Amino acid sequence: MAGFEDIKEHMEVIGADGVHVGTVDHIDGDRIKLTKKDSGEGSHEGHHHYISRGLVADIEGDRVRLSANGDVAVTFEEEKNDAV
């Protein structure tokens, strides 16, 4: 089984339900930094968001599967300066 350290740039991040959540920009400590193009809408658009390591359920080929469904996972996204 692949681990957190196997997550690479440009991998797709999906929810437990298979819904696209984002694309990996890179790993930043214990968080996945998502690319700006997948950064949400409105005031959340145009800057990076982060997914906590604790939400990662599995690595499946070139996809990172989260333990929460896509619509729920986006509510757990963190801003750059959010506490981990």
Strand order in the sheet with 63-66: 50-52, 31-34, 20-28, 12-14, 63-66, 56-60
Overall residue count recorded for the chain in this entry: 84
Summarize pLDDT for 8-62 with one digit per residue, the tens.
Answer: 999 999 999 999 999 999 999 999 999 988 655 544 556 788 999 999 999 999 9
The whole-number pLDDT of residue 48 equals 80
Q: What is the pTM of this model?
A: 0.83
